[in-house]
Amino acid sequence: MIEEHEEGETVCDSGTALVEGCRLKVRMSGTDDWPEAEIISIKDENGLRNYYIHYLAFNKRLDEWVTEEYLDTREVTFPKRDGSTAPGTGAATPKKLISSRPQSPTIVNNELVNGSAVLQAALQKKMARKRKANFLENEDSQDGTTQQPTAGPRPTGSLVAHHHDDVVTRMKNIELIELGRHRIKPWYFSPYPQEMVNLNCIYICEFCLKYRKSRKCLERHLAKCNLRHPPGNEIYRKGSISFFEIDGRKNKNYAQNLCLLAKLFLDHKTLYYDTDPFLFYVMTEFDTRGFHIVGYFSKEKESTEDYNVACILTMPQFQRKGYGKLLIEFSYELSKFEGKTGSPEKPLSDLGLLSYRSYWTHTILDILLNVKPVGENNEKPTITINEICELTSIKKEDVISTLQKHNLINYYKGQYIVTLNREIIDQHMAAMEKRKIRIDPKCLHWTPKDWSIRAKW
């Protein structure tokens, strides 16, 4: 029975009247919260109806299957008859995307500067040209404060509209993966072959990243697999940390398997089979068994937008240990070797944005705090934005936006002045003390290649 309530709203006495696209309050598993949610899919299992739920104000990694007792059917908003839903749900009609320069190598499946009008106008012009529209939706991401198990998601995150998703790609399709000693619950959809999707667990070789249906199959594979590190050149080693450079053309299978694995934990990128235009930098941790993948970033061999990172990920079991900042620091170290400034490709995930903002802030503050006074009279130290860019390889827009975000730059008597207060200095010092692992440029053995002069990759 359905009773009309208001325009578009109804009261249901049973979940059987619910359809895909309905919005209602749902109790989030493990909490007493009843946030508004959208029903993405419905299925019957053993006579029990299950609903795949997306919580509208939360990141998709918290989407889940629930049963009827989790639903509050007193107020339900049904989808319009034309199938459309309110903006921001991500349920818009999927569109086919064609791009000659894919965002990332993956696989397609079925405050203002006070008084500064001039600086702001210039900044906006550049950013409008280079940013993608939906990057702005990530601008107010908040870090979670509740400690979660290493294999699980954080409880909060920004809401990103997924305008090009269909129902299939909006739903997690892998229950569990086993990678080395770790069992991890995926966060998002990844287009593994259909025969892998209905399994309780996918078993992945942690060295070559091939996937198998059972532990027995994996054991047979491991008896034959002679890889104990990523199949590329080791270009950095300090202590137990190594970085390997993998060419997406020369090691296509590994690159595609890496993309499939990464897509389980990245929701903001499109997957492509064509990995040829990309390099992959895989960070590993060494022990007696071999070099274990910690995280990676990919990078276009040639980027017209000066992107120095396409995709970046720290594996969930290694998050909150400083490895994300180490990946970012390494990407900028490569840019320094190239003599360029660089920036990550947008949009960033909510966790990626937090990591980059933190890295930019502390790197720039390090420079500002070490600027020496000039002249015999120890006048106030001076430094230009361009000099900061040259020293850090951080793109000018990112330097300016970082200074603005922390209200560090002000317009005074015809010039821009950076003002550092004691509080931000103390916060910076405390944060830098926590960063136990850093990139040592002396341990990087790498020569940039000029890909533009090569006939093919």
Angle separating helix axes 350-369 and 422-434, nearest 10 degrees: 110
Instruction: Kindly tell me the burial class for residue 171, based on how many C-beta atoms sit within 10 Å of its own C-beta (0-12, 13-18, 19 or more).
Output: middle
- Contact status, residue 361 vs residue 408, Cβ threshold 8 Å: no
- Contact status, residue 403 vs residue 297, Cβ threshold 8 Å: no
Q: Can you give the length of the chain in residues?
A: 457
Tokens of 287: 């022990």
Tokens of 317: 């079991």
- Contact status, residue 402 vs residue 361, Cβ threshold 8 Å: yes
Which one from 137, 345, 390, 433 is the annotated catalytic residue?
A: 345
Identify the DSSP state of 264. Answer: T
- Contact status, residue 203 vs residue 214, Cβ threshold 8 Å: yes
Q: In a 3-state reduction of DSSP, which class is residue 240?
A: coil
- Across 46-82, where does the E strand assignment appear? 48-55, 64-67, 71-77
Please indicate whether residue 345 is annotated as part of the active site: yes
Residue among 134, 150, 15 nearest 74 (CA): 15
Residue among 406, 384, 400 nearest 343 (CA): 400
- Contact status, residue 36 vs residue 55, Cβ threshold 8 Å: yes
DSSP 95-163: -----SS-SSS------PPTT-HHHHHHHHHHHHHHS-GGGGGGTT-----S---TTS--S-------T
Tell me the C-alpha distance between 76 and 12, whole Å.
7
Residue among 150, 147, 216, 136 nearest 184 (CA): 150
Tell me the C-alpha distance between 232 and 250, whole Å.
9
Residues labelled as active-site residues: 345
